[in-house]
Amino acid sequence: MKKSNISTLIALTVTLLVGSTSIAQDKMMKDAMNNEKTVMVGGAAMYPSKNIIENAVNSKDHTTLVAAVKAGELVDVLQGEGPFTVFAPTNAAFAKLPDGTVEALVKPENKAKLQSILTYHVLSGNYSAEAIVNSIKKGKGKATFKTVNGGTLTAMLKGNNVVLKDENGGISMVTITDVFQSNGVIHVVDTVVLPGTGSKK
């Protein structure tokens, strides 16, 4: 066999081996994901092996939140090691805000205000629904949590549901709990919570 043919055969073999390895690795990753305990949010499976942003971008119910996080330049933060507990408002939650509010907030000149609102939905630490409920019971019906923006959220029980009271007296109900991520946990909420004037800007 000619030298050029041998070289071609070797190159082809290497290519096939690399391709087979890549396919095998992809299959292993998919199999591992298939074995994960997932929660469906916005029509998509949320994988515990993925971080908050990697999961959130797949939820059709959280496109407004993802756009706001991008506009607020908080993607890198929420992809960080954490852990974080995020109370994630749905698109319908943002739609409850006065007309034009979201459009105004995502403008570059309002980035600081947007960041303040978004980080008001985030706690530093990993708080499962059970941990939150236990804190409420320990506090005889109320538990106060300090948010990343420096403000506070008050958690209470309404029947079997956890509700959040913001610094303005606004109420938001947790509709989906314990969506575990590689860097924390998400709890889906039906209303945007808003920081009071005393919170960090």
What is the model's pLDDT at position 8? 52
pLDDT for position 58: 87
Q: Over the range 60-81, which residues count as b (16 or more CB within 10 Å of their CB) and which as e? A: ebbebbbebbebbebbebbeee
Cα–Cα dist 189/163, whole Å: 9
pLDDT of 12: 45
Give me the residues paired with residue 44 across strands: 41
Contact criterion met (CB below 8 Å) for 135 and 182: no
10-residue averages of pLDDT along the chain (201 residues): 51 45 46 65 84 88 92 90 93 94 94 95 95 96 96 94 96 95 93 80 44
User: How much is the pLDDT for 7?
Assistant: 52
**What local confidence, expressed as pLDDT, does residue 5 receive?**
55
What is the C-alpha to C-alpha distance for residues 160 and 56, in angstroms, rounded to an integer? 25
For residue 8, which amino acid is it?
T
- Strands 152-158, 184-189: pairing is unpaired
Helices and strands of the chain, counted as H and E runs: 8, 9
pLDDT for residue 68 = 93
Pair of tokens at residue 100: 């034009």
H/E segment holding residue 186: strand 184-189
CA atoms within 13 A of residue 10's CA, in its CB half-sphere: 7
Residue 119: Cβ-neighbour burial (10 angstroms; 0-12, 13-18, 19+)? buried
> pTM for this one?
0.80
pLDDT of residue 38: 78
User: CA 198, CA 74: separation in Å to the nearest integer?
Assistant: 22
Q: What is the reported pLDDT for 4?
A: 52
